[in-house]
Structure 1
Amino acid sequence: MRQPRAARVLAAFAFMVSGLFLASQVTQEARAQGFQTAAPTAILMDAGSHAVLFEKSADEPTAPASMAKVMTAEVVFNEIKNGRLNFDSEFMLSENAWRKGGGGSGGSSMFAKVNTPVRLEDLLRGLIVQSGNDAAIALAEGIAGTEENFARMMNERAKQIGLTKSTFRNATGYGHPEQKVTVRDLAKLALYVIETYPDLYKIFGEREFTWNKIRQQNRNPLLFADIGADGLKTGNIDESGYGLIGSAVQNDQRLIVVVNGLKTAKDRAAESRKLLDWGFRAFETQQLFTEGQVVGEAQVFGGNMRSLPLVAKKPVRVLVPRGDGERVTARIVYTGPLKAPIQKGAEVARLQVSRGDMQALDMPLYANEDVQQGTLSQRALDGLLEFSTGWVRRAFSSLVESI
């Protein structure tokens, strides 16, 4: 959650005077020295740490083309996860879906027959593997009645996932003046799909699918490049140029790449692979803390203890350039002091690790102990301490609000 400017300044000041800090979820721009890409917009992210290894105009709005179908798939996956749909659910291919997305439409198609029921499992493969516009529209109409209603579902899900700068207007990715995304949001979407739906995600890695006796290969060139790629999606319309969301795994490390705005399919394949090759080659993992190891402490107000040990639920690892002496620093951020009672295992803070001037890691920290409400005398003492420092913070807040 991004804090207003005054709150961010106040939080930093409060940290200096009383050990408190108000977290600001602002991702700093990652600037990878000595690497360039021809892609107008691009991002490379490490899935394990969520660290951005490289970015170029990553927050520039651009048309998603068929990369929007990853959002379409996420909505369907979410319906399956919540038990509202299953692979045997059937959807009718309407005349509208056939005319807009069928074989005669000029775009990518599953070649489903009009007014014919199709199983959800087949429609998903038509959507993901074949990039069928007819499959996308059939799913949208079957789930929400109309594609417009489905687009509203896409935007609601996007907001829940944390895609802050993306707007969807259809399920296919067809050009629309209001349909815009950023490569950063597409990377977040890819990461969410991979982590949330591991079994369904496997469809993105299937190299071909045959429907209506028509065999089509997956349009993702990375799947055929022998680099450990297992998804996700390509796109191309006049408004966007050639784009790709890709993911690959090497030596248990997963990287996510997104490029958009390239001039040819060949350029798209080359630039996305170049980014992945560079990411796997140029960085190595350093472990800072083991799983369950105490990372630090947070101050507590009104409890039976004054400070609370904090732990991560998985090993804390950060990517650093190979052979580079760049300084790595870490800080614990939280809105504090934490108020008792606090349950063990509750998320109460975040660990932010920086590599030079770039944020390399941002992950949650959890209470390692139960904190009970303190005695009356303990609460009174904490109240006195908070009062003595709180007036300073309030006065400073008034000052910065007036600037």
Structure 2
Amino acid sequence: MTNIRTGFFIMIFTSVLFLLFITSINISAEEIPLSPKINAKAWILMDSSSGEILSEFNADKRLNPASLTKMMTSYVIGQKIKSGSIKYEDIVEIGKDAWSPSNHILQGSSLMFLKPGDKVSVYDLNKGIVIQSGNDACIALADYIEGSQETFVDLMNYYVKKLGLKNTHFMTVHGLDAKGQYSTARDMALIAQALIHDVPKEYALNKEKEFTFNKIRQINRNKLLWSHIIKVDGVKTGHTLGAGNNLVASAVDKNTRLISVILGAPNDNIRFRDSERLLIWGLNFFETITPVKSNMALVQQKVWFGNKNKVDVGINKDIAITVAKNEKKDIKMNLNFNSRILEAPITKNQIIGTIDFKINDKLIKHYPLMALDDIKKGNFFSRLIDFIIMKITSWFNIWF
């Protein structure tokens, strides 16, 4: 215990020194230092809102995810609860396959310590997965939701495809070493992003620091939840002999949320130390801005031959952009229309141009520009007037 505490205090001390060092420097956007050196097989740092990658190494290398697998297990559970297929108050009767003495795979692994015949709520089992990393809880909920672990794993891999993950395949519901099971730092960041955005109530469990079940109190293994330097509220640790030490972490500072993934760190202390250093670096030198909100009218555009003569123009989703700090004032927005003549009928969300964001004349983001309303054809009389006006304006090369 003394060695664990000593290692943890060393990790905090070095992180504080690193933070003091980088915050004492007044650095322009062009002089942002390289991200800290990470001791792991692979890593990535991603802006959760924009998806921008700030740092990466071997991000697409297939590695053993270990208990990071439980993020997808949690995602599936969150989707089931969100859809109403299951409820937190549902009671699950525990079977023998979720009992470690009768399942050799579970022996020596992280457990909720379930027993056959126990009647446990979905809510408690879910907390056992997220907070305690209980492999037995994963099995119990998989059996309850889909009837078997195999069918639940199929559902996990269905969401792998739906989320567009290119290098992930699951063979278990819990992440214990299994042939053919793999993921990458990039895909794990995307799963964390999906957890945060798609099932926020499920994700909220990740910030809880402890859970007591059957009078057994267990502490969340994510030590960064106790960080005094950055605000971390998730996500998941993982460790097996085949994987080494893995960690997915997410930290928030004002409007910026970053996700870090470290795979294959040599020991427990290094994965936490390096994850914290990576997140500190990202939060100190970058920020997320939202220059355009969903369905916000940026401009009104003239419409010919319609029942209305103007249409609101914008975009149908919030736009998040990651910029170096102090670059916010330099960002420029340009609207480019596909044609200077816009004719009815027009349908809502019809693409009529592009919206470009630039910093110092460099294109950083590019999105489709859309009509925010339906515009139907006008009556014969209004269309005739528009035709006459269009003819006259074309003679004199004058356009509205």
TM-score (norm 2): 0.73
Instruction: Mark the runs of 5 or more structure 2 residues left unpaired by the alignment.
Output: 1-31, 385-400
CA distance in 1, matches of 2:270, 2:172: 27
Q: Report deviation, 1:323.
A: 5.2
Q: State how 1:199-348 maps to structure 2 within 5 Å.
A: 199-226=201-228, 227-285=230-288, 288-289=291-292, 310-313=313-316, 316-322=319-325, 341-345=345-349
* 1:344 counterpart letter in structure 2: K
Tell me how many residue pairs correspond in the alignment. Answer: 348
Q: Report deviation, 1:303.
A: 9.0
- Equivalent residue number for residue 37 of structure 1: 37
Q: Flag the 1:104–1:55 CA change in 2: closer, same or farther, 3 A.
A: closer
Maintained 8 Å contact 1:93/1:134: no
Q: Report deviation, 1:349.
A: 7.5
* 1:56 counterpart letter in structure 2: F
Q: Flag the 1:180–1:369 CA change in 2: closer, same or farther, 3 A.
A: same
- Equivalent residue number for residue 12 of structure 2: none
Maintained 8 Å contact 2:131/2:205: yes
Partner deviation per Cα, 1:241-276 (whole Å, 9 max, x = no partner): 211111111123211111111111101101111111
CA distance in 1, matches of 2:116, 2:327: 59
Q: Given the alignment of the two structures, is residue 65 of structure 1 paired with residue 66 of structure 2, yes or no?
A: yes
Q: Report deviation, 1:318.
A: 2.4
- SS in structure 2 at match of 1:184: helix
Partner deviation per Cα, 1:299-353 (whole Å, 9 max, x = no partner): x9x99999986413566452222357999687889999x9985432467887575
Q: State how 1:56-205 maps to structure 2 within 5 Å.
A: 56-99=57-100, 105-205=107-207
CA distance in 2, matches of 1:218, 1:88: 23
Q: Flag the 1:65–1:375 CA change in 2: closer, same or farther, 3 A.
A: farther
- SS in structure 2 at match of 1:271: helix
Partner deviation per Cα, 1:345-387 (whole Å, 9 max, x = no partner): 4678875757799996576654223244699999xxxxxxxxx
Q: Flag the 1:297–1:223 CA change in 2: closer, same or farther, 3 A.
A: same
Instruction: Mark the runs of 5 or more structure 1 residues left unpaired by the alignment.
Output: 1-31, 379-403
Maintained 8 Å contact 1:341/1:372: yes
Maintained 8 Å contact 1:112/1:211: no
Maintained 8 Å contact 1:50/1:361: no
Q: Flag the 1:292–1:87 CA change in 2: closer, same or farther, 3 A.
A: closer
Instruction: Quote the sequence identity (%).
Output: 34
Q: Flag the 1:350–1:131 CA change in 2: closer, same or farther, 3 A.
A: farther
Maintained 8 Å contact 1:228/1:248: yes
More deviation in 325-334 or 62-71? 325-334
- SS in structure 2 at match of 1:179: coil
CA distance in 2, matches of 1:261, 1:137: 25
Q: Report deviation, 1:295.
A: 5.7
* 2:260 counterpart letter in structure 1: V
Maintained 8 Å contact 1:303/1:341: yes
TM-score (norm 1): 0.73
Q: Report deviation, 1:92.
A: 2.6
CA distance in 1, matches of 2:362, 2:108: 44
CA distance in 1, matches of 2:62, 2:335: 32
CA distance in 2, matches of 1:257, 1:270: 12
Maintained 8 Å contact 2:255/2:287: no
C-alpha RMSD over aligned residues: 4.0
CA distance in 1, matches of 2:60, 2:48: 19
- SS in structure 2 at match of 1:170: coil
Q: Flag the 1:212–1:279 CA change in 2: closer, same or farther, 3 A.
A: same
CA distance in 1, matches of 2:356, 2:103: 45
Q: Flag the 1:270–1:123 CA change in 2: closer, same or farther, 3 A.
A: same
